[in-house]
Amino acid sequence: MSNLIEGRDYLIEKGNTVFTASFLERRGHCCGNGCRNCPYSFPNDKRVVSLVPSWTDTLIGCGVEVIARTRFCIHPTERVQGIPAVGGTKECNYDLINALHPDAVILDREENAREMAAHLQAPIVATHVKDIPSMVEGMIEINRAVKNAKLNQLIKQASALQPLPPNRLPIEKLPGLVKWVKRPTAKVHRILYLIWRDPWMAVGPRTFIGSVLAYLGFAGYLADFDQDYPLVSLSDFDRETTLFLFSTEPYPFLKKEALIRDLDLNAAIVDGECFGWYGAKAIELLRRFQVDSPAPPEGKRMIVP
């Protein structure tokens, strides 16, 4: 309450604190506690075009009517087949999208080309997901447009996520592990997460993948690159104490196991969707590791703004 302002964020009525509608709307989700000034309703009656694979997966899972998608929107597998694909994430059939008259078009600044917005006639929700907090912000922006109760619940769950303490999760139990190519024999001090070859490209800590790894307790293992997606030389990293993670996407490293084995590095192939897809997939992953986290000390409450 120390950051809240009486009159703007709350009122005192007969000794009780009553949050204002303005504060509750800025918070971004309905808490479900029957607040007197709750500004939220969830008719879920919007028709949406989603040009972001992660958001398409999340919205369909929440029961939002997604009427068009990109060809890279492949999840949930059994449900996207009946939704027309209108192009890719960098270009699409704008005439077809505009002819559908959607209530909103979902874009992301990291995923989609900037010029796409100029060709779209419907209201646009453009998120900018770079880490877990900005994922939550993106979900809030989307739900202001689609007004969906299940998405509201996901926002509540995502807002409560807390990073694991360092070394809480052993590297051997890293989620998303598809296959060990060569297990480390010495203690690992560095993780290099690779997404491309020819040239080799890694991810930095200030990316969504870096944020997921940090929330899993591996922040101290990530090299602090100046760029989000730097070009790297594998020989610059200590082969004994570095674990090289080869992602299944965007480069198909799963099909290149022999190449990775020939490098003779501490290496594993990991599921790129596990670390790179935000929204429902990321929340499900991270919540699995929140269950065993220690409770706040007695007498203290964790307040989620």
What is the domain partition of the chain in residue ranges? 1-40, 47-159, 171-288
Residue 298 clears pLDDT 70, i.e. is over it: no
Q: What is the mean pLDDT of residues 65-94?
A: 96
pTM above the 0.75 mark?
A: yes
Answer whether 47-159 and 171-288 agree in fold: yes
HSE, side-chain direction, 13 A CA sphere, residue 75? 15
Residue 82 clears pLDDT 70, i.e. is over it: yes
Lowest mean pLDDT segment, chosen from 12-21, 44-53, 113-122, 136-145: 12-21
Residue 302 clears pLDDT 70, i.e. is over it: no
What local confidence, expressed as pLDDT, does residue 35 receive? 87
Residue 304 clears pLDDT 90, i.e. is over it: no
Q: What is the mean pLDDT of residues 210-226?
A: 94
β pairing state of 16-19 and 10-13:
antiparallel
DSSP 63: T
pLDDT over 70 percentage in the chain: 94
What local confidence, expressed as pLDDT, does residue 1 receive? 54
Q: What is the mean pLDDT of residues 198-206?
A: 97
Domain 171-288 maps to which CATH number in 3.30.70, 3.40.50, 3.30.420, 1.10.3470? 3.40.50
More confident residue, 26 or 272: 272
Sign of CA dihedral 22, 30, 28, 156: positive
Q: What is the mean pLDDT of residues 254-278?
A: 97
Residue 230 clears pLDDT 90, i.e. is over it: yes
Residue 226's Cβ-count burial label (10 Å; 0-12, 13-18, 19+) is exposed
Banded pLDDT at 32 (limits 50, 70, 90): confident
pLDDT in tens, 86-134: 999 999 999 999 999 999 999 999 999 999 999 999 999 999 999 999 9
Residue 303 clears pLDDT 90, i.e. is over it: no
Give the ranges where the chain is alpha helix by DSSP (H). Answer: 21-27, 53-61, 77-80, 94-100, 132-146, 149-159, 208-213, 257-263, 272-276, 280-288
Tokens of 254: 């799963």
What local confidence, expressed as pLDDT, does residue 8 receive? 92
What local confidence, expressed as pLDDT, does residue 2 receive? 60
Q: What is the mean pLDDT of residues 31-49?
A: 90
Residue 114's Cβ-count burial label (10 Å; 0-12, 13-18, 19+) is exposed
What local confidence, expressed as pLDDT, does residue 291 receive? 53
As a whole number of angstroms, the distance between CA 299 and CA 305 comes to 19
pLDDT over 90 percentage in the chain: 79
Residue 295 clears pLDDT 50, i.e. is over it: no
Helices (H) and strands (E) in the chain, counts: 10, 11
Banded pLDDT at 294 (limits 50, 70, 90): very low
What local confidence, expressed as pLDDT, does residue 300 receive? 32
What local confidence, expressed as pLDDT, does residue 305 receive? 28
Give the residue carrying structure tokens 């694991």: 164
**How high is the mean pLDDT of the chain?**
92
What local confidence, expressed as pLDDT, does residue 118 receive? 95
Fold of 47-159: Rossmann fold (3.40.50)
